[in-house]
Amino acid sequence: MSRLRQAVCAAVILCAGLAPGAAGAQSESIEDVFSDARLNAYVLEIEAALARAQAAEGLIPQSAADAITAAARPEAVPADALAAEYAIVRHRMVAFLNVFSRSLDADAANYLHYGATTVDIYDTAAILQVRQSILLLIEDLRAIELQLIDLAETHRDTPMIGRTLGQHALPITFGKKVASWIGENRRHIERLADLLDRVERSAIMKGAVGSYVGLGDRAQAVERRFGEELGLSEPYADDWHASRDVFAEYAVNLGLLARFYGRVGQEVFLLQMTDIAEVIEQRSSTAVGSSTMPHKNNPSLSEALIHYSRTIPALSDIVADDMINFFERDNTSRPNDAIGELSLETEDMLSAANRLVGRLHVDAEAMRRNLDRSGGWILSQRFVFALAPHIGRTEAEELIRDLAAEAHESGAGLRAAAMENAVIREALGEAEIDTLLDPETYLGLAGEQVDAVIAAARAAREMDPSVD
């Protein structure tokens, strides 16, 4: 795991207000965040935060809050004891509390989980998981962004054919193509960063039907302090147990992210086709591409991105469907596992994307060969613009279109067709015709576009959520 990822994890721990050894203390991956051990550690911290908030508002004795906080450590709820207790009570929250209570004296145990309900605890735990997951995913995206920036700078001026509807269209540069990936990757970072505000306002302690019954007149103040104890913002006043829109937004964002990387994967997959061969996923010297065809170098990483673009949105839909609840809350969608699986799949996807970009070899010579495959006809637009001052744009378009249609039958290149046409030859002359036929001089502002996108991305990086 990278030092950057470790730094993020440490920051998340501090921001969430977790004690050493509590939830998040050893986090290095999203897999850790959604593990059973981490969930239990979050629940411990949440119960302790609730007790401290209640004591501060005079609902329970300070001594009870201190005892609960001191006991809220992973060793208080060993996995084997939890499993044994669950086998008896068949309720995970009750099993958890029963085991945890054994670490407390009778007075403190009497105030454990005071006025709380299962859904408050586990929804808040899910919020802490999602918050940490967002920060880790942002760091993954930022790491890919740096690789994309390097790739775009390297190939800022590497010409290639731009394709629309699967056809050769106009010349671009590979750097310009990569710049479009940088721009969209950056927008996904911004979407996740923007979502953090709503996630951090979603700690909840409102009771079974969201009306604070059981927490007394100071319930709203308790909830605010509860959020503060967890390092979160002031909670929303409304009861969102049934709405689930924050979880759904998280899921939808990951679905969008997967579709973006599916586009990147598909494009790289196609550019590796034997008949195009403009890029290749470099492999180690010992890697085997095919069990029966030694010559093959299968596009495994781009293929993986296409796969994730199909599975992640499906998981996203499961989570989003939980917005359709009966009345104050039901549990028909049971999306908690899906949130974890969705997050893990996204982390795996970004790992594949990171490796793909890092291993991508660009064949500039192949790009140039493909530029020339049309015999210059990809520059027909340029000839229209050059002829327009002499014969008018409409006539120029009709002339070049007719010549192109004839060339489809004869196989003639644009230079030959132009030199054989008296109107073009008289209007432009041989020297200008040859100048117009150079695709490397018809790239528009592709280079400047690359520069602008990279500059914007670098500036935006200064505003990303801090990991300090």
Number of H helices, E strands in the chain: 19, 4
329 is an active site residue? yes
With contact defined as beta carbons under 8 Å apart, do 295 and 282 qualify?
A: no
Q: Rg of the chain over CA atoms, in angstroms?
A: 30
With contact defined as beta carbons under 8 Å apart, do 386 and 436 qualify?
A: yes
Q: CA dist 153 to 87, 101, 192, 394, 440, Å?
A: 59, 59, 26, 39, 17
Out of 73, 187, 218, 329, pick the active-site residue: 329
Measured CA to CA, the distance from residue 12 to residue 29 in angstroms comes to: 12
Measured CA to CA, the distance from residue 387 to residue 383 in angstroms comes to: 6
Q: Helical H runs in 201-282?
A: 219-229, 245-271
Measured CA to CA, the distance from residue 99 to residue 211 in angstroms comes to: 29
Closest CA to 336 of 131, 130, 194: 130
With contact defined as beta carbons under 8 Å apart, do 159 and 173 qualify?
A: yes
The single-letter code of the amino acid at 441 is: T
With contact defined as beta carbons under 8 Å apart, do 156 and 447 qualify?
A: yes
What's the burial of 439, exposed, middle or buried (CB within 10 Å: 0-12/13-18/19+)?
buried
Measured CA to CA, the distance from residue 90 to residue 85 in angstroms comes to: 8
Burial 38-73 (b: 16+ CB within 10 A, else e): bbbbbbbbbbbbbbbbbbbbebbbeebbebbbebbb
To the nearest 10 degrees (0 to 180), the angle between helices 118-154 and 92-101 is: 100
Closest CA to 284 of 266, 272, 301: 301
Measured CA to CA, the distance from residue 353 to residue 261 in angstroms comes to: 7
Measured CA to CA, the distance from residue 319 to residue 335 in angstroms comes to: 5
Out of 63, 290, 359, 393, pick the active-site residue: 290
Q: CA dist 343 to 33, 307, 426, Å?
A: 10, 15, 64
**180, 182, 183, 185: CA torsion to nearest 10:** 120
User: Active-site residues: which are they?
Assistant: 290, 329
